[in-house]
Amino acid sequence: MFAYWFAARRLHPLDLLAGGLLALGLLFLATGLLPADSAGAAAQRIAPLLAFLGSVVVLAELTGAAEVFDVLATRVARAGRGSYPVLFLLCVGFAALTTAVLNLDTTAVLLTPVMLALATRVGIAPLPLAMTTVWLANTASLLLPVSNLTNLLAADRVALSSAGLARAMWAPQLAALLATMACLWGFYWRRGRRGADGYRPPEVRRPEDPVLFRICALACAGFLAGSLLAPVPLWVASGAAAAVVVAAYAVRRPEALRASLIPWRLLVLVPGMFLVVQTVDAHGLHRLLAAAVGDDAGPLGLFRASAVGAGLSNLLNNLPVYLAGEAAVPAGNHQQLLALLIGTNIGPLIAPWASLATLLWYERCRSAGLRVPLRSVAGTGAVLAVGGVALATAALAVVGSA
């Protein structure tokens, strides 16, 4: 299957990165640099994560192909009635909701092209809409385990359900959203940047296959209900929803079911990252991060953990940084671990490689022909990263001490 995948497509740099990390991790295991028991523990932990990741991406891809996101985006634009401030609030809400309830990669991969196409149809500048998706893909990913792979890891570490994580992170998430909205409006959406006072609402969009549209919409709703309300693992809820959608496509549009729907790159990248980080952690990274994060469970320790997470995420990547940082945080310091989560989720807004969602967003923008001004995006991202992480950590400290 992997041979078919590599032969059927031109290799992207991210494909090489994913394959290289997995090969390096297996080499570490074979040479004994990675202890077998550490590798076994990593495998047990990532198996349900990979099942969830694979099924939820298939669910999101097929839901997008059924035009669910296109219809929703068109309705959002029509609801704005030509007003930029109203459209701004609606787009923020749409992107934040997509990130929170499906995951940040869905926002980066599927919502970005929808927003860019929407910009073309209604005649508005594409960059504000594009920046809305990439920033909210990162900053709106704190609330639920499903929102971000790091959240799944953190919820498992501190034994929090979906509802429990939401109770712990609602205030930091609200603070991060307010900071994001302020930066989006000031840097990209205000009158001087967008170049127009209003826009032309699009025509009503109707899906080509209403039956498939309804099935996919109901499957997504069922997945959300199952992940939030039912006492089942997330991978079971996402797998069941994906199975319903795949069955519907098998009947109504079988040609759409292809091997490329499966996120092979992610399924190779994630275990590779785990193995490499486990190896580096066994040879000194743990001690380095433990010294940087400290063991202070008070407000200072929270800010220290979030700052380390945000800074290192932009130097490396947020997923391996969280994995290594999690091992460095003392087992009982749950609030400090959540502060690290804030840093690794909100912080990776400066470097293009800081999060997988940001990398996927750049790829989608490039394929759509949108030129992204790297210097200004990094500069404005730095402002939001610092402000958003600080405000969210402060909210965590206040709510956690209440």
Specify whether the CB–CB gap between 102 and 220 falls below 8 A.
Answer: yes
Extract the tokens encoding 246: 């795949």
DSSP letters, 5-48, are HHHHSPPPHHHHHHHHHHHHHHHHHHHTSS-HHHHHHHHHHHHH
What's the average model confidence in pLDDT over 377-393?
Answer: 97
Is the pLDDT score of 7 beyond 50? no
DSSP state letter for 352: T
Residues 243-301 have pLDDT tens digits of 999 999 999 999 999 888 888 877 887 788 778 877 877 777 767 777 888 888 889 99
Question: Tell me, what's the pLDDT at 47?
Answer: 85
Extract the tokens encoding 53: 């990741």
Radius of gyration of the chain (CA): 21
Do you know the residue count of the chain? Answer: 402
Would you call 108 helix, strand, or coil by DSSP? helix
Specify whether the CB–CB gap between 67 and 49 falls below 8 A.
Answer: no
State the Cα–Cα distance between residues 372 and 354, nearest whole angstrom: 16
Residues 166-199 have pLDDT tens digits of 999 999 999 999 999 999 999 999 877 766 778 8
Is the alpha carbon torsion for 229, 231, 234, 237 positive or negative? negative
Residues 21-56 have pLDDT tens digits of 889 889 998 888 888 887 887 788 778 878 887 888
Tell me the pLDDT of the chain averaged across its residues.
85
Of the pLDDT bands very low, low, confident and very high (cuts 50, 70, 90), residue 93 is very high
Looking at per-residue pLDDT, the higher value among 346 and 59 belongs to 346
What's the average model confidence in pLDDT over 139-163?
Answer: 85
State the Cα–Cα distance between residues 63 and 97, nearest whole angstrom: 15
Q: 43: which residues sit within 8 A by CB, 6+ positions away?
A: 271
Question: Tell me, what's the pLDDT at 2?
Answer: 46
Specify whether the CB–CB gap between 179 and 383 falls below 8 A.
Answer: no
State the Cα–Cα distance between residues 394 and 402, nearest whole angstrom: 12
What's the average model confidence in pLDDT over 227-253?
Answer: 86
Share of the chain above pLDDT 90, in %: 34
What's the average model confidence in pLDDT over 325-352?
Answer: 90
Is the pLDDT score of 132 beyond 90? yes
Share of the chain above pLDDT 70, in %: 94
